[in-house]
A = this chain, B = another copy of it.
Amino acid sequence: MSGSAVPPSRAIFQPLLAAALAEDLGLAGDVTSEAVVPASATLRAEIVARTAGRVAGLTIGTAVFGMLDDGIGVEVRTADGEDAPAGSVLATVSGPARPILTGERTALNLIGRLSGIATATRAAVAAVAGTGARITGTRKTTPGMRALEHYAIRAGGGAGHRVGLFDAILVKDNHLDLAGGITAAVAAARKRAGHLMSIEVEVETLEQLGEALAAGAKIVMLDNMDSPTLRRAVEMTAGRAVLEASGGITPDRLAEVAATGVDVISLGWLTHSAPALDVGLDVS
């Protein structure tokens, strides 16, 4: 249940951090620290989890300090993908006071948001423990944050889904009519996909599932089905395709859905509605 937690390369997250910093600094910068904190002041502070949760984004969030000043030292105490009890110290930050206070909110916003997603994911993973179902997210992410939010899902123990519109074909209901039905859509998708691009088809009924399997679909999304229907879908498929349950699966339904035997459960609320983890910076 521990999360896969290899943070993305700095070549990926530094532009995001730079944009986040620019948003907070504007062109006039941190006028408060400039006005009231002496240039020579130093401090030592701890980033603390005020409530318990699964940590994600600690390396990324604290990298903001190095972008502000080379003299700031950061020591990460809890690895991404680990569970932190309430009150635990996630990292320490020390050095010149002004740039530390300047970067504080940007760092905390990132860590809080990503840890919130990881914490929600971890709870979902726990709820399906003992079944073969994997938890994953969707493309219902915050604009500009998808890479980091998908990473937070992995830190929470979840699996990956499409990164965007570009890395897999996912034929949804709105496509099907335009494509001339499931069989035609699967054929068209195969023609476009190279040998490394996966194809998934969304179905809403068992009849559609039958058509998709007959068309040779290897991955099928079962949209908004109740648990008995999901169970019949699993039986009907009999291992011929990977089955993903999706659509309106609330936390209280997770165990039941997982018990139907589906392979993957995808949850939009992990990214669009999970509350942030409460993290703070305490000057010691």
Interface set of A (CB-CB < 8 Å, partner B): 4, 6, 8-12, 16-39, 41, 43, 45, 67-68, 97, 99, 101-102, 104-106, 108-110, 112-113, 116, 134, 136, 139-147, 150, 159-172, 174-175, 177-179, 184-185, 188-189, 191-198, 200, 219, 242, 244, 263-264, 269, 272-273, 275-276, 281, 283
Contacts and interface: CB of A to CB of B under 8 A. Distances in A.
Contact of A160 (B147, B193, B244): B193
Determine which residue in A30, A68, A112 has the highest number of CB atoms from chain B within 10 A of its CB, and name it.
A30
Contact of A24 (B164, B170, B276): B164
B16 A11 contact: no
Contact of A192 (B18, B31, B150, B200): B31
Contact of A142 (B99, B142, B177): B142
Contact of A166 (B26, B37, B272): B26
How many copies of the chain does the oligomer comprise?
6
Contacts of A178: 36-38, 41, 43, 97
A184 B170 CA distance: 30
24 contacts: A4-B192, A12-B22, A12-B27, A16-B143, A23-B27, A23-B147, A27-B146, A27-B166, A28-B163, A29-B166, A31-B168, A32-B171, A32-B172, A36-B188, A36-B189, A112-B140, A134-B195, A136-B195, A143-B144, A160-B197, A161-B195, A168-B196, A174-B281, A196-B219
Contact of A99 (B9, B113, B275): B9
B194 A159 contact: yes
